[in-house]
Amino acid sequence: MTDKHQPTITIFRGFSCTANYAWSPFVTKLEARLRFAGVYYNLEQGSIIKAPRGKIPYISITSKHNNEPEFLSDSQLISGQLTENGILPDLNEELSPTEETMDQALRALLEDKLYFYNTNERWNENYYTMRDGVMASIPYPIRVIVGYIAWRKTNTTLHGQGTGRFSLEEIHSFRSKIWHDIDNLLAESRHKTSAAAAGRNVFWALGRKGPTEVDTSLFGFIIGGLVCDAGPESRKLIRSLPNVIEYARRIHEEYFPEENQQSNLQSSNPFTKQGSTALRKGKMLFVQTSPDTKIHLRLVKESSISSSSPLIVFLHYWGGSSSTWYKITSPDSPFSLSSRYPSVSMDHRGWGESTGPTAQNGGTAKDYSVTPLASDLVSVLQTLRTNEATASVVKNNGIVFVGHSMGAKVILAALGSASDDILALVKGLVLVTPAPPTPLILPPDMSEQQEHAYDSKESVQFVLSNILSSPELLTDEDMAMVVRDSLVGNTLANEGWIRYGMKEDLIPVLDELASRPHIMNVKVSVLAGEFDVVEQKDRVQSEVVEMLAARGFNVGFSVVKGAKHLIPLEYPEAVSRAIDEVLN
């Protein structure tokens, strides 16, 4: 990690020296600066009373040339001094003047603006939590006195700096604007980096191959916001920003791997990878839709959900399963809607844990076309109206349908055959990279190639990495899940979509739906991926959006920047946002 000539560096964090992150963003900033360079250091608690300049964090440096430790404080001055001494590399050495200015401006935004908004939240809105957190080592009643002195000093600083002159509403607005702008910046950097990723996992704020100084500050502020108990609103805000979370999660796993074991993050760690445990969340249901077809459903319904929330029903793409939606349905996911809406994710016949007709029993690929799948959905809807766990929700609050690719076409077909009482339950439609309702006839050679796309693990991995998505947009668990789901589909289900499903013409269905008033007032949100080559955004607009709009549907259209075909896994927040939009 370092060479034998490196001096001994000790960081004094002002907090107990466990493997946990500290509340202070500047402590994590300094640790990140050293870890990005592979420089080893020790940790001690230290004291603000002993700290040079009275600032936390501070460090001591002991070298073979000087047995007496040298103490330095202020994270930026420490970084500068260690760089000047050749202990740390200059992270900004290769930046252009424009990039250097941007790096400094972003650091100033965090350290000279956001820091004071966070300070107000911690010391004024959550005083007792903050006092007892940072002064835990000070006994009562001294803590009360010292806390009051600190509070007065803090508010004098806030007033002089300017933050203390604004209302709480204004400060909250300023803080939210900063974090949302950072999320947009990271979305652009994530996409910019992806083309040249070459297997790299971490992406950086300025979109470069390696970190710059602003990455140390930004990571520190994200972590500080997530772990500080005295900043609950900041924590909630940060967790709602997918690119911020993904940026920090990747740095966390690459440079702070031992922190995965820390106790104070176990119950709420937003960086925990969403693997098999998350996918198993929810109650399993099975619905017999015909003598040879059993449909598997995954029901998630938390006790805290409002009694007025509708049921969200998810249908997956060709090759997917109910697990495709786990980032939106699992309570463990930072993008989850499970605390706001009950949901049912459905495996189409022949996929996931659902079964269907077999060749041995006279089944054919045509039994797996859109119409039979739509018939399964209608049968499932009837069950949801009577099932004890969902009946009251469906009856009182209705259903929002969310369909991905093939699943979107199945939804339209099912609505065309549904009774008026079922249509009356529909509160919204979200069609994610939808297969068009018009027939799609592939050339014979292309059709044959597509039928073999899921023949082996290697073929699925190729399709996944080069067509459906990009590796940098998915976790390793996502990749493994997609491969597993694609391989378990039975042969007839695999052939049914290619030979029959995509060729079905639903235009007569749309024409018939347009005459039924129950469905015409429902909002429809259509999402397309900016770089989707399966259902290209221009075709989605012309063959789905315009087709629906021409028949009087209340339809909206959004292109998800940076996304390919697997939006539920790549950018689950876009799906969550679309669900909210059709309901509001």
Provide mean pLDDT across the span 255-268.
47
Residue 458, burial from CB neighbour count under 10 angstroms (0-12, 13-18, 19+): exposed
pLDDT at 262: 39
Sheet of 8-12: strand order equals 42-44, 8-12, 58-63, 66-73
Condensed to tens digits (0 to 9), the pLDDT of residues 560-581 reads: 999 999 999 999 999 999 999 9
**Is 246 within a domain?**
yes
Q: How many CB atoms lie within 10 A of CB 210?
A: 13
* Nearest residue to 10 (alpha-carbon basis) of 37, 54, 45, 55: 45
Residue 258 is predicted with a pLDDT of: 56
C-alpha 171/C-alpha 182 separation (Å) is: 17
211 and 309 part of one domain: no
Q: How far is 207 from 95, CA to CA, in rounded Å?
A: 12
115 and 67 in a single domain? The answer is: no
pLDDT reading at 86 higher than 60? yes
Query: Is the pLDDT confidence value at 479 over 80?
Result: yes
**What whole-number distance in Å separates Cα of residue 345 and Cα of residue 430?**
14
C-alpha–C-alpha distance, residues 45 and 51, integer Å? 11
Count of structural domains, the chain: 3
Q: Which of 261, 259, 246, 241 is nearest to 194 (CA)?
A: 246
Residue 44 and residue 101 in one domain: no
Shared domain for 322 and 247, answered yes or no, is no
Answer whether residue 90 is part of any domain. Answer: no
Same domain, 444 and 579: yes
Pair (470, 551) in one structural domain: yes
Output the CA–CA distances (angstroms, integers) from residue 577 to 186, 233, 320, in the order listed: 18, 20, 22
The bridge status of strand 343-346 relative to strand 42-44 is unpaired
Do 485 and 431 sit in the same domain of this protein?
yes
Residue where a domain terminates, one of 212, 237, 265: 265
- Pair 177, 285 in one domain: no
In this model, does residue 19 exceed pLDDT 70?
A: no
Q: What is the pLDDT of residue 275?
A: 34
Q: What is the pLDDT of residue 523?
A: 94
Confidence of residue 5 (pLDDT cuts 50, 70, 90): low
Q: What is the pTM of this model?
A: 0.58
Q: Check which CATH number belongs to the domain holding 211 and give it.
A: 1.20.1050.10
- For residue 421, the model assigns a pLDDT of 86
Mean pLDDT within 137-165: 90
- CA-based nearest residue to 563, from 537, 531, 540: 531
What's the CA gap between 226 and 362, in Å, rounded? 57
Residues 427-454 have pLDDT tens digits of: 999 999 999 999 987 667 666 777 788 8
Give the domain CATH number at 419: 3.40.50.1820
* CA gap 341, 310 in Å, rounded: 6
80 pLDDT above the threshold of 80 = yes
Q: Are residues 145 and 244 in the same domain?
A: yes
Look up residue 104 and give its two tokens: 């400094």
Average pLDDT over residues 64-77: 83
pLDDT at 282: 61
Question: What is the predicted pLDDT for the residue at 451?
Answer: 78
Does a structural domain hold residue 526?
Answer: yes
In terms of residue numbers, what domain contains 69? 8-84
- The pLDDT score that the predictor gives to residue 239 is 84
Q: Phi/psi class of residue 3: alpha, beta or left (left: φ > 0; alpha: ψ in -120 to 50)?
A: beta
- pLDDT surpasses 70 at 274: no
> Which of 4-18, 39-53, 294-308, 548-562 tops mean pLDDT?
548-562
CATH of the domain at 62: 3.40.30.10
Q: Is the pLDDT of residue 137 over 70?
A: yes
511: amino acid identity, one letter: D
Confidence of residue 193 (pLDDT cuts 50, 70, 90): low
Alpha carbon of residue 3 to chain centroid: 39
Residue 25 three-state SS = helix
For residue 67, the model assigns a pLDDT of 72
Q: What is the pLDDT of residues 500-556, one digit of tens each?
A: 999 999 999 999 998 888 788 899 999 999 999 999 999 999 999 999 999 999 999
- Please name the amino acid found at residue 517: P
> How far apart are alpha carbons 449 and 440 in whole angstroms?
15
Residue 363 has pLDDT above 60, yes or no: yes
Cβ neighbours of residue 364 under 8 Å, at least 6 residues apart?
357, 492
Q: Are residues 102 and 122 in the same domain?
A: yes
Please indicate, yes or no, if residue 2 is contained in any of the structural domains: no
Tokens of 37: 């360079």
Look at strands 311-315 and 426-432 and give their pairing.
Answer: unpaired
Final residue of a domain: which of 265, 289, 310? 265
Strongest mean pLDDT among 1-10, 186-195, 457-466, 554-563: 554-563
Residues 242 and 281 in one domain: no
- Evaluated on CA atoms 265, 268, 270, 272, the torsion sign reads positive
C-alpha distances (whole Å) from 359 to each of 353, 370, 451, 455, 502 are 18, 18, 17, 18, 21
Does the pLDDT value for residue 263 go beyond 60?
no
**For all residues of the chain together, what is the average pLDDT?**
87
240 in the same domain as 185: yes
Asked which of 24, 53, 84 is the last residue of a domain, the reply is: 84
Percent of the chain with pLDDT over 90: 56
